[in-house]
Amino acid sequence: MVDIARLAGVSVATVSRALNGHPEISVATRERIAELARSLNYTVNAGAKNLRTKGNRTVAVVVPRDPAAPQPISDPFLLAMIGRLADALTSRGYDMLLSRTPADQIAALHASGTAVGIVQLGQWHDTGSLEAAARAGVPLVVWGAPLPGIGYCCVGCDNREGGRLATLHLLDQGRRHIAFIGDRSTPEPAERWQGYREAHEARGLVPAPSLHLTETTDLAHTRATVQALLDGGAPIDGIVCCSDILAIAAMSAVRAHGLRVPEDVAVTGYDDISWASHAEPPLTTVRQPIEPAADALVAALMQQAAGESTASVVLPVELVVRRSSGA
């Protein structure tokens, strides 16, 4: 900027004003300076500007990585969400930092001035760190189920209802031995499981033994687990899965066992990732509205960054019926 000032024969203050479109500056000098900046390929240093103005236009999107068991981000729904968030933030003039910081360190992203706020994707098992960060005044919005009595803002879908809808749908197709696949030690599958039970109760039935998986990203492993269940002789005629990915694995296992989807075993997924409608057979699934979700996450964060407090948001889900459920 000093270079420009010297070349233009003005002070750096003038250059700064010109470049920022300050009104009280002669059109002549403004244009001269703009031209000079362009020809020198000059851009105002963002860091220095932020330091001076205490501004910051960066939001950190965090997918925590467990240092003990590092796993790449592979869940298509999460990945799609990341893509949507990039758009939502870009269109609001924010930069998006994609971070793999463990949950107990997200507060530092804010304290260090790296980001104005944080969108964390998933609560995983560390709600304590999230509570702490929120209490410390870090603008924070979490994609996940708002647990009762929780101290931070969540944006999520109605998991109970999603589980209920999927299960009810299978029950109403006459299925009576419906397995439930998902990691119930995490909040969202736990809520869906509630819905699964409610659906059975509503029909005066008792749930079949369910499958509880801790690993949801490794297709091969999931498939093997489902297959083990079938090989064990369980008389399953329906499977409610907590993600479309799990449903892929489940359908694959069912076939490997010599059974047909949906004739012998009806399957439902969760998320409605873009692939679901093109699966074979097309997958019945619970759609989570990804674009509204991304918008809601960003909107809530902006409010918090502006000093307002925000309540958690629960978005509605929708059962998308396709062939895999035998309807």
Partner DNA sequence: TTGAAAGCGCTAACAA
Partner DNA sequence: TTGTTAGCGCTTTCAA
Q: Given the rule CB under 8 A, which residues bind a second copy?
A: 41-48, 50-51, 56, 58, 61, 63, 65, 70, 72-74, 76, 79-80, 82-84, 86-87, 90, 95-100, 107-108, 111-114, 136, 219, 223, 248-249, 251-252, 255, 274-275, 277-281, 291
Closest CB 3 distance from a second copy, rounded Å: 13
The item of a second copy, DNA, none sharing an interface with residue 53, based on CB under 5 to 8 Å by kind, is: DNA
Which residue has 């002669």 as its token pair? 26
Distances (CA, A) of 21 to 15, 18, 26, 34, 51: 10, 5, 11, 10, 20
How many Cβ atoms from other residues are within 10 Å of residue 256's Cβ? 14
Q: How would you label 283-294 residue by residue, b for 16+ Cβ within 10 Å and e otherwise?
A: bbbbbbebebbb
Joined tokens for residue 66: 């467990």
Q: Report the distance separating Cα 177 and Cα 161, nearest Å.
A: 20
Q: Report the distance separating Cα 83 and Cα 74, nearest Å.
A: 13
Cβ atoms of 47 and 29 within 8 Å: the answer is no
Our CB check for DNA shows the closer of 13 and 98 to be: 13
Our CB check for a second copy shows the closer of 102 and 207 to be: 102
- In the complex, the residues that contact DNA under the rule CB under 7 A are 1-2, 9-14, 16-17, 19-20, 24-26, 28-30, 44-45, 48-49, 51-54
The item of DNA, a second copy, none sharing an interface with residue 11, based on CB under 5 to 8 Å by kind, is: DNA
Closest CB 91 distance from DNA, rounded Å: 23
Cβ atoms of 120 and 142 within 8 Å: the answer is yes
Our CB check for a second copy shows the closer of 88 and 150 to be: 88
Closest CB 13 distance from DNA, rounded Å: 3
Our CB check for DNA shows the closer of 22 and 221 to be: 22
Closest CB 57 distance from a second copy, rounded Å: 10
Helix (H, G, I), strand (E, B) or coil at 44: coil
